[in-house]
Amino acid sequence: MGGIGHIHSQGLAHRDLKPENVLFDSEFNLRVADFGFAAPIEGRDGKGLLKSRLGTEGYMAPEIHLKQPYKGASVDLFACGIILFIMVTQHPPFLKAHPSD
């Protein structure tokens, strides 16, 4: 969460957080990788919302699936919740998020 907080404090939303993008360095510190879908956290127009439908489906927040504008920090936090769920249970909570999630 510290890494994600740092990314957000630098004005970026990752938008593709998943276990494959969380790596260990040589001292076993966690590192966030693959910033190919990163975008300004305030959106491209500065209004605070992003609109692109991208990421890995099982980690995408419901608003992305619904093709609604979304806050980058919120969808990153949703993906972190999915990663934590997988770490605890050893399986994903669902294949695709629904609004009730």
Query: Which residue is it, tokens 């593709």?
Result: 16
DSSP for the chain? Answer: -HHHHHHHHTTEE-----GGGEEE-TTS-EEE---TT-EETT-TTSSS-B----S-GGG--HHHHTT--B-HHHHHHHHHHHHHHHHHHSS-S-SS--TT-
Residues 22-36 pLDDT 10s: 999 999 999 999 999
- In the chain, % of residues over pLDDT 70: 99
pLDDT at 85 over 90: yes
Domains in the chain (CATH in brackets) are 2-89 (1.10.510.10)
Hey, which residues are catalytic here?
Answer: 16
Q: C-alpha distances in angstroms, 38 versus 2, 5, 16, 89, 100?
A: 17, 14, 8, 28, 26
Q: What are the residue ranges of helices labelled H in 10-71?
A: 62-65
pTM of the model: 0.90
